[in-house]
Amino acid sequence: MQILTVTLGLILLVLTLFFGLAGLRRLATLQFRGGWLAVLAGVSQILNVLIQQYRVPLLIATIVFLGAFCILNYRLPGLILITLGVAMNLVAMAANGGMMPVQLEQLERAAGVLVANGTVLDNSKGIALTDESANLPWFGDRLLLPGPLAQLAVWSLGDILLIWGVIRLLWVTMKGPRTAHQVAETAS
């Protein structure tokens, strides 16, 4: 979860460098409906990591809060991709007792440590599982970046969709609407 937050922060930094202060001003005008629902979903996930109890009720709360937030904001650019990514991750967690399955072999490649099948990962909502032990293993964390970047994290397909959706949301918002002058230039 931490590496996903850092990744999204780096994406925002790169887009800020690309679009400049005008892009940040446009981003500041972005309005979400029911933003408090996303905050409650985040609090549910933080509690899931910190207390590591009541995982299923906290997961259900997260699903309800995020589902309502996504429904309220589905017209924003990229939000359908974000919703699909979040849904894939939540389905994987729901199928595995409220924990995100992390493919054991990929975790060992990324972290360089051997852990037993079924090990609950510290400060995380993840559990190290073989494909045979996990429910819906292809929805879990199993993707590595190439080369030395593989040590950063193990990613899920849901994470990829989520990041892609956030990039689209930030890009379209920070770029701003095309002006009549820009449309005329591209037409000629």
Q: Taking the domains of the chain in order of start, what are their residue ranges?
A: 2-176
Position 122 scores a pLDDT of 84
Mean of pLDDT over the chain = 89
pLDDT at 2 over 90: no
Position 158 scores a pLDDT of 95
pLDDT at 183 over 70: no
| Secondary structure (3-state) at 100 | strand
Mean of pLDDT values over 92-107 = 93
Cα–Cα distance list, 20 to 12, 13, 17, 98 (Å): 11, 10, 5, 40
Residue predicted with more confidence, 55 or 129? 129
For the stretch 37-89, pLDDT in tens is 999 999 998 898 888 788 889 988 998 999 999 999 999 999 999 999 999 99
pLDDT at 25 over 90: yes
Q: To the nearest 10°, the Cα dihedral for 176, 181, 184, 188?
A: -110
Tell me, letter by letter, the H, E, C secondary structure of 102-163.
Answer: EEHHHHHHHHCCCCCCCCECCCCCEEEECCCCCCCHHHCECECCCHHHHHCCCECHHHHHHH
Position 148 scores a pLDDT of 83
Position 182 scores a pLDDT of 55
Position 165 scores a pLDDT of 96
Please tell me the distance from the alpha carbon of residue 44 to that of residue 61, in angstroms, as a whole number: 7
161, amino acid identity: L
pTM of the complete model: 0.84
pLDDT band of 111, cuts 50, 70, 90: confident
Mean of pLDDT values over 161-182 = 86
| Secondary structure (3-state) at 101 | strand
Tell me, letter by letter, the H, E, C secondary structure of 1-48.
Answer: CHHHHHHHHHHHHHHHHHHHHHHHHHHHCCCCCCHHHHHHHHHHHHHH
Position 4 scores a pLDDT of 79
Number of Cβ within 10 Å of residue 9's Cβ equals 10
pLDDT at 145 over 90: no
b (16+ CB within 10 A) / e for 54-85: ebeebbebbbebbbbbbebbeebebbebbbbb
Please tell me the distance from the alpha carbon of residue 157 to that of residue 149, in angstroms, as a whole number: 17
